Structure 1
Amino acid sequence: MANRLKYLTVTGLLLIALSFTFERKAYAYIDPGSGLLVFQGISAVVSGTLFYFRRRLKALFGKTPKVESTAADSQ
């Protein structure tokens, strides 16, 4: 199963790389708002991921409770 997944991944990446080698020039205009749209999409993905994993991040970066030693423990 793992070999098949690797084969599928490598095949997909090679097809993507191959598609870039045969691309034609697109004589098109991209307005400045398109860059903002891409930025908005990326920031939405990042903030959504942080929101989804907030408990794990809080546990990872949160303070660990300190264990207090008593006088009986030190003897």
Structure 2
Amino acid sequence: MTHTLKLVAVTVMLVVALSFTFERQAHAYVDPGSGLLLFQGISATISGVLFYFRRRIKNLFVKTQPKSDPGTTPSPSL
């Protein structure tokens, strides 16, 4: 199973590498909306990453209190 998976992965990487190698230059018009589409994609990616790691980011800024042993009573803080 792993041999066929490696063979498929190598084949896909070879096809992608060859497609980038023989790529022709495009003489295309980029309208003003393309910049907004690029901005939207980048902002969506950043928002997704922040949402995915929100708990880890929150833990960087929140001070955690040390946990006491279950057999002892916590001392009152003033």
Structure 2 residue aligned with 1:17: 17
Alignment deviations for residues 20-73 of structure 1 (CA, whole Å, 9 cap, x no partner): 1111222211123212211211111210221232123212x1323257xxxxxx
Q: Which structure 2 residue ranges, 5 or more long, are not aligned?
A: 68-78
Structure 2 residue aligned with 1:38: 38
Q: What TM-score comes out, normalization by structure 2 length?
A: 0.56
Cα distance in 1 for residues equivalent to 2:3 and 2:57: 33
Q: Which structure 1 residue ranges, 5 or more long, are not aligned?
A: 68-75
What percent identity do the matched residue pairs reach? 64
Q: What TM-score comes out, normalization by structure 1 length?
A: 0.58
Number of residue pairs the alignment of both structures matches: 67
- Higher RCO (Cα < 8 Å, 6 or more apart): 1
Superposition RMSD in Å = 2.8
